[in-house]
Structure 1
Amino acid sequence: MSDASSPERDSPRWRRILRHPLSQLGPGVITGVADDDPSGIATYSQAGAQYGFDMLWTMPLAYPLMSAVQVMCGRLGRVTGKGLSANIKAAFSPGLLRALVLLLLIANMLNIAADVAVMGEAAELVTGISQRWMTLAFVAATLGLQVFVPYHRYVKFLKWLTVSLLAYAGVLFTVHVPWGEVLRHTAWPRFRLDGDAATMVVGVFGTTISPYLFFWQASEEVEELRGAPSLIDAPSDAPAELSRISWDTWSGMAYSDLTAFFIMLATAVTLHAGGVTTIETAAQAASALRPIAGDFAFLLFALGILGVGMIGVPVLAGSAAYAMAEAMEWNGGLERKASDARGFYSVIAVCVLAALVIQFSPINPMRALFWSAVINGVVAVPLMIVLLLLVSRESVMGAFVAPRMIRWLGWGATLLMGAAAVVMIAAMF
Structure 2
Amino acid sequence: MTETTLTHPTAPAQRSAVLDDAHVGDIRGALGTIKHDDTGERRGLSAKFKTLLAIVGPGLIVMVGDNDAGAFATYGQAGQNYGTQLLWTLLLLIPVLYVNQEMVLRLGAVTGVGHARLILERFGKFWGAFSVIDLFLLNALTLVTEFIGITMAADYLGLPKAASVILAAAIIIASAFTGSFRRFERIAVALCAASLLLVPLYFMLHPKTSQMAHDFVTPVIPGGSGELATVMLLIIGIVGTTVAPWQLFFQQSYVIDKRITPRFMKYEKADLWIGIAIVVIGAAALMGLVAAAFAGTKGFGNFDDTAGLITGISAKAGKVAGVLFAIALLDASIIGAFAVSLSTAYAIGDVFGMKHSLHRGVKGAKGFYAVYAGLVAAAATIVLIPGSPLGLLTQGVQTLAGVLLPSASVFLLLLCNDKQVLGPWVNGPKTNAFTAAVVGVLVSLSIILTASVLFPGISSNMILDIMAGCGVAGVLAAGYAFTRRRTATKEDPIDRTGRDSWRMPPLETLTRPVMSTGRKIGMGALRTYLLIAMVLVVIKIVQVALGN
Deviation at 1:189, TM superposition (A): 2.5
After superposition, residues 34-53 of structure 1 pair within 5 angstroms as 34-53=65-84
Give unmatched runs, 5+ long, in structure 1.
Answer: 232-236
Q: What is the aligned partner in structure 2 of residue 355 from structure 1?
A: 379
Letter in 2 for 1:80: T
Change (3 A) 1:422 1:158: same
**What is the aligned partner in structure 2 of residue 303 from structure 1?**
327
1:287-302 matches, within 5 Å, as 287-302=311-326
Asked whether 1:324 is paired with 2:348, we answer yes
| Mapped pair 1:70 → 2:101 | yes
2-structure distance, mates of 1:196, 1:325: 40
Q: Which has the higher contact order (CA 8 A, sep 6+)?
A: 1
The one-character-per-residue Cα deviations of 1:104-144 (angstroms, maximum 9, x if unpaired) are: 11111111111112112202312x12122211110111012
2:7 aligned partner, one-letter code: D
Contact 2:178 / 2:184 at 8 angstroms: preserved in 1? no
CA contact (8 A) 1:139 1:352 kept: yes
Tell me the equivalent position of 1:377.
402
Matched, 1:421 2:446: yes
Is 1:205 the equivalent of 2:236?
Answer: no
Cα distance, 1:163 vs. partner? 1.1
Q: Report the RMSD for the aligned CA atoms in angstroms.
A: 2.2
Is 2:172–2:338's contact at 8 Å kept on the other side of the alignment? yes
Q: 1:387 aligns with which of 396, 401, 412?
A: 412
2:546 equivalent in structure 1: none
Distance 2:240 2:375 in 1: 21
Q: TM (normalized to structure 1)?
A: 0.91
What letter is aligned with 2:266? Answer: S
Q: How far did 1:19 drift?
A: 6.0
Equivalent positions of 1:255-266 (< 5 A) are: 255-266=278-289
SS of the equivalent of 2:232 reads helix
Work out which of the residue numbers 168, 189, 196 in structure 2 matches 1:166: 196
**Residues 42 and 281 of structure 1 are in contact (CA less than 8 Å); yes or no, is this contact kept in structure 2?**
yes
Q: What amino acid does structure 1 have at the position aligned with 2:348?
A: M
1:341 paired to 2:345: no
Unpaired runs of 5+ residues, structure 2, are 10-39, 456-548
Partner Cα distance (1:42, 1:403) in 2: 37
Q: Per-residue displacement from partner, 1:248-306 (whole Å, max 9, x unpaired)?
A: 11221121122111111111111244232333443431222101122232122111112
Partner SS state of residue 336, structure 1: coil
Distance 1:4 1:307 in 2: 46
User: Match of 1:121, as an amino acid?
Assistant: M
| Contact 2:63 2:279 (C-alpha < 8 Å) held by counterparts | yes
TM-score (ref. length: structure 2) = 0.72
2:209 is matched with 179
Give the corresponding residue for 1:400: 425
8 Å Cα contact 2:109-2:255 kept in structure 1: yes
Q: Does the Cα contact within 8 Å between 1:112 and 1:316 map onto a contact in 2?
A: yes
Q: How many residues align?
A: 414
Q: Is the 8 A contact 2:403 2:450 kept in 1?
A: no
2: distance between equivalents of 1:143 and 1:211?
A: 22
Seen in structure 2, the aligned counterparts of structure 1 residues 156 and 19 have a Cα distance that, compared at 3 Å, is closer
Distance 1:246 1:366, change over 3 A: same
Contact 2:179 2:360 (C-alpha < 8 Å) held by counterparts? no
Aligned AA (1:315): A
Deviation at 1:245, TM superposition (A): 1.8
Tell me, in whole angstroms, the C-alpha distance in 2 between the residues paired with 1:272 and 1:363: 33
- Output the CA distance in 2 between the equivalents of 1:13 and 1:75: 24
How many percent identity over aligned positions?
Answer: 24
Distance 1:257 1:14 in 2: 30
Report Cα offsets for 1:363-397 as digits up to 9, x if no partner: 22232121111221122111111111111221100
Q: Secondary structure at the match of 1:278?
A: coil
* Among 167, 190, 201, the residue aligned to 1:137: 167
Paired residue secondary structure (1:173): helix
Tell me the alpha carbon deviations over residues 192-242 of structure 1, each in whole angstroms, 9 at most, x when there is no partner.
3521111100100000000111111000110111xx8x54xxxxx3xxx11
Q: Distance in 1 between matches of 2:384 and 2:335?
A: 23
- Higher share in helix: 1
Q: Name the amino acid aligned to 2:213.
A: L
**Whole-angstrom distance in 2 between the partners of 1:268 and 1:75:** 38
- State yes or no: 1:32 paired with 2:66: no
Using a 3 Å threshold, how does the CA distance of structure 1 residues 188 and 414 change in structure 2: closer, same or farther? closer
